[in-house]
């Protein structure tokens, strides 16, 4: 009997297991495949639920927060947090680690610590299919049943404007010049690039759309220029910005570019890249400019994680491809209230940042507990997440600028915008030094809340 598309997708994870088994099971391929299918279709190795089960896929700032605060609000709820990684590494503050200002262990943390302190279950596993009819998550460790599912898998990169589907080119860009806005190996690659820097041109791109960490590329450019300046490296950071101006904290960053890094930073706004040659290390723009570089962090546009498409809960937003198809006030999937999507996959124009995801996670946790108690969620139950974000403009004798903002829904425009927003962009006085200290304490506070 032919497999349905859904059945076929359930077994997409079997190939690797079967291939591994074939090394010792030649002549018994059918048996190896059956064994692999048995493993993947058996329940995952976690205790049976003793109450309604909330399964959270993705242990970033959003997932970690939701796991902790659902359990805190109602200890009778069984919470399972899963992630494909074994160790947490944060994207926020990673620019300071990559440039040697802070140690790697500052941004590296233990998932199991969060599970112990939050009294929930952590499972290191990769989700490869979600059956929303049977409320089952299929993973490489087996199946997990849920009453409520939270999808918080974060972003994927969208290289399509640069590669037009050329997989070899995309692989080369991902491998040689990663954007370093998905924490982990990309962070370590960027750190190695900077530590081994001998000079020349370093290109930092800034994507369009609503990308992760709006000030991040500008902060990184400042810190790399600061590294060059401190270590007397003859080099320059060239910022190729798809946007017409710096997207946030513009006054502070422009001031730092001019006063601190005039000889080290070249800022090129409204720059559309039409071609990247990873071998010649040359970028061509739509104006015909050719920019040769010695190294780069090529940050493409972002999109929702592809797990949303696998789950059948994705649609293109006004900003990016493949983001969550949810009610923006309740975070529930349109047509399936048992599934919540949150964090950087949300389609609303909120900042894709850790503090936003953390405060939003507490809101979503309350929503989940209310929903499990039989309450109906609606626009009336919505409250705004909070965006607090510090950006360093100088590493040693750290100086930082910041933003503090909430959001409000405009009934006329049918969209969200900033509310009660304010910035601190005076980096060159006592405020900037205080901002640097505040940045470190802000990061420590987030880690304490997660773990």
CA angle, 172 then 173 then 176, to 5°: 75
Cα–Cα distance between 1 and 412 in angstroms, integer? 54
* Predicted confidence (pLDDT) per residue in 99-158, tens digit: 999 999 999 999 999 999 999 999 999 999 999 999 999 999 999 999 999 999 999 999
Burial 304-330 (b: 16+ CB within 10 A, else e): bbebbebbebbeebebbbbbbbbbbbb
Q: Which of 95, 64, 156 is nearest to 390 (CA)?
A: 95
The pLDDT value recorded for residue 86 is 97
Residue with tokens 């991902």: 174
Total Cβ atoms within 10 A of residue 212:
21
Question: Is the pLDDT at 2 greater than 70, yes or no?
Answer: no
**25 vs 401, which has greater pLDDT?**
401
| Percent of the chain predicted with pLDDT > 70 | 93
Tens of pLDDT, residue by residue over 203-221, are 999 999 999 999 999 999 9
**What's the predicted TM-score (pTM) here?**
0.92
Residue 141, by phi and psi: left (phi above 0), alpha (psi -120 to 50) or beta?
Answer: alpha
Q: What is the pLDDT of residue 36?
A: 66
Instruction: In whole angstroms, give the CA distance from residue 356 to residue 446.
Output: 11
Contact, 51 vs 69, CB < 8 A? Answer: no
> What is d(CA 163, CA 155) in angstroms, rounded to the nearest whole number?
18
In the block, residue with structure tokens 């620019």: 95
The pLDDT, as a whole number, for residue 373 is 98
Q: Is the pLDDT of residue 328 over 90?
A: yes
Q: Residue 338 — pLDDT band, cuts 50, 70, 90?
A: very high
pLDDT tens, 42-75?
Answer: 999 999 999 999 999 999 999 999 999 999 999 9
Compute the distance between CA of residue 202 and CA of residue 177 in angstroms, rounded to an integer. Answer: 11
**pLDDT-based confidence at residue 40 (cuts at 50, 70, 90):** confident
> With 60 as the cut, is the pLDDT of residue 20 above it?
no
Per-residue pLDDT reduced to its tens digit, 354-399: 999 999 999 999 999 999 999 999 999 999 999 999 999 999 999 9
Q: What angle do CA 401, 406, 407 make, to 5 degrees?
A: 130
Whether the per-residue pLDDT at 13 is higher than 60: the answer is: no
Average pLDDT of the residues of the chain: 94
For residue 370, which of 147, 118, 74 has the smallest C-alpha distance? Answer: 74
Percent of the chain with pLDDT over 90: 91
Please give the average per-residue pLDDT across 77-82, as a whole number: 98
pLDDT tens-digit profile of 279-304?
Answer: 999 999 999 999 999 999 999 999 99
- Cross-sheet strand order for the sheet of 148-151: 121-124, 78-83, 53-57, 148-151, 336-341, 332-333
User: How much of the chain is in helix, strand and coil states, percent to nearest 5?
Assistant: 35, 25, 35
Instruction: Give the integer Cα–Cα distance in Å for 159 and 170.
Output: 7
Name the more confident of 68 and 15: 68
- Provide CB contacts within 8 A for 243, sequence distance 6+: 206, 208, 269, 270
Closest CA to 301 of 204, 203, 179: 179
- DSSP string for 210-243: S-BSTTHHHHHHHHHHHHHHHTT--EEEEEEESS
Return all residues near 400 (Cβ < 8 A) that are at least 6 apart.
390, 391, 392, 393, 427, 432, 435, 436, 438, 439
Sign, Cα dihedral of 11, 341, 59, 159:
positive
Q: Which two tokens stand for residue 242?
A: 């798809």
Mean pLDDT of 176-201: 98
């Amino acid at each position: 009997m032919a497999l349905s598309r859904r059945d076929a997708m359930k077994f997409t994870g079997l190939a690797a297991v079967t291939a591994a088994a074939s090394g010792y099971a030649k002549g018994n391929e059918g048996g190896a495949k059956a064994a692999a299918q048995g493993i993947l279709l058996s329940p995952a190795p976690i205790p049976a639920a003793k109450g309604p089960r909330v399964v959270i896929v993705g242990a970033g700032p959003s997932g970690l927060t939701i796991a902790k605060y659902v359990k805190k609000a109602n200890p009778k709820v069984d919470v399972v947090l899963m992630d494909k990684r074994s160790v947490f590494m944060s994207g926020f503050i990673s620019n300071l680690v990559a440039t040697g200002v802070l140690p790697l262990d500052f941004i590296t943390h233990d998932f199991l610590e969060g599970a112990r302190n939050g009294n929930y279950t952590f499972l290191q596993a990769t989700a490869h299919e979600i059956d929303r009819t049977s409320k089952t998550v299929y993973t490489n460790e087996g199946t997990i049943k849920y009453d409520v599912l939270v999808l918080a898998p974060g972003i994927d990169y969208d290289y399509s404007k640069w590669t037009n589907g050329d997989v070899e080119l995309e692989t080369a860009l991902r491998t040689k010049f990663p954007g370093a806005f998905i924490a982990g190996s990309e962070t370590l690659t960027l750190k190695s690039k900077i530590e081994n820097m001998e000079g020349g041109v370093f290109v930092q791109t800034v994507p369009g759309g609503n990308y992760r960490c709006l000030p991040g590329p500008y902060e990184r450019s400042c810190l790399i220029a600061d590294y060059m300046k401190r270590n007397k490296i003859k080099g320059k950071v060239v910022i190729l910005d798809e946007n017409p101006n710096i997207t946030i904290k513009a006054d502070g960053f422009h001031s730092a570019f001019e006063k601190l890094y005039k000889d080290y930073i070249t800022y090129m706004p409204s720059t559309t890249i039409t071609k990247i040659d990873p071998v010649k290390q040359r970028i061509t723009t739509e104006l015909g400019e050719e920019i040769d570089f010695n190294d780069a962090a090529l940050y493409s546009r972002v999109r929702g994680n592809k797990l949303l498409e696998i789950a059948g809960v994705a649609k293109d937003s006004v900003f990016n491809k493949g983001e969550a198809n949810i009610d923006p006030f309740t975070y529930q999937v349109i047509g399936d209230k048992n599934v919540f999507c949150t964090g950087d996959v949300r389609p609303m124009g909120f900042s894709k940042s850790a503090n936003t995801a953390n405060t939003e996670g507490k809101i979503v946790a309350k929503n989940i507990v209310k929903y499990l108690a039989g309450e109906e969620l609606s626009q009336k139950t919505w409250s705004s997440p909070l965006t607090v974000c510090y950006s360093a403009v100088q590493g040693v004798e750290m100086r930082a600028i910041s933003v503090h903002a909430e959001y409000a829904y405009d009934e006329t425009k049918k969209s969200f915008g900033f509310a009660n927003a304010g910035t601190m962009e005076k980096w060159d006085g006592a405020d900037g030094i205080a901002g640097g200290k505040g940045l470190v304490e802000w990061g420590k506070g987030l880690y304490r809340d997660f773990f």
